[in-house]
Amino acid sequence: MDNVISKSYEIIKESNDLIATEESIQQYMYEVFTELLGDIFIHINQTIKEQKQHEGWKVKREDWKTVQFIFWPVRYRRTLMTDQDSQNHYPLDKWLGI
C-alpha cells in the first residue's frame, strides 16, 4: 500500500494540470488492480486445485490465460486437470464462469 501512495504522490507532484493527473492516476490504478486481480485468481486456482486433487483429480499442466476486463486485461495461471473419467477441465475457468 505504501508503494501505491508513493507512486500516486509522484504522479501528482510531476503533473501540471488536474486532468492529466487524474488520467495518470487512473491508468496507474488500473495497473495495480489488474495485478492484484491476477494474483487473486492465482490464489483461488491453487485452492481449487488442492480441493480437486483431494477428490482424485490429476494435474495435467499449468497454463497462462488472459481475460479482458473493462479496465484492462488480467493475466493469470490456471491448472488443466483430469477428472476420474479422464475428462480435461480448467476448474478455475468453471468457477469464474468462463
Average pLDDT, the chain: 90
pLDDT higher than 90, residue 10: no
Q: Please give the single-letter amino acid code of residue 19.
A: I
Contact present, 91 and 50 (Cβ < 8 Å): no
Contact present, 57 and 48 (Cβ < 8 Å): no
- The predicted-structure confidence for 26-52, as pLDDT tens digits, reads as follows 888 888 889 999 999 999 999 999 999
Q: Is the dihedral of CA 13, 15, 17, 20 positive or negative?
A: negative
pTM listed for this prediction:
0.78
The better pLDDT of the pair 2, 59 is held by 59
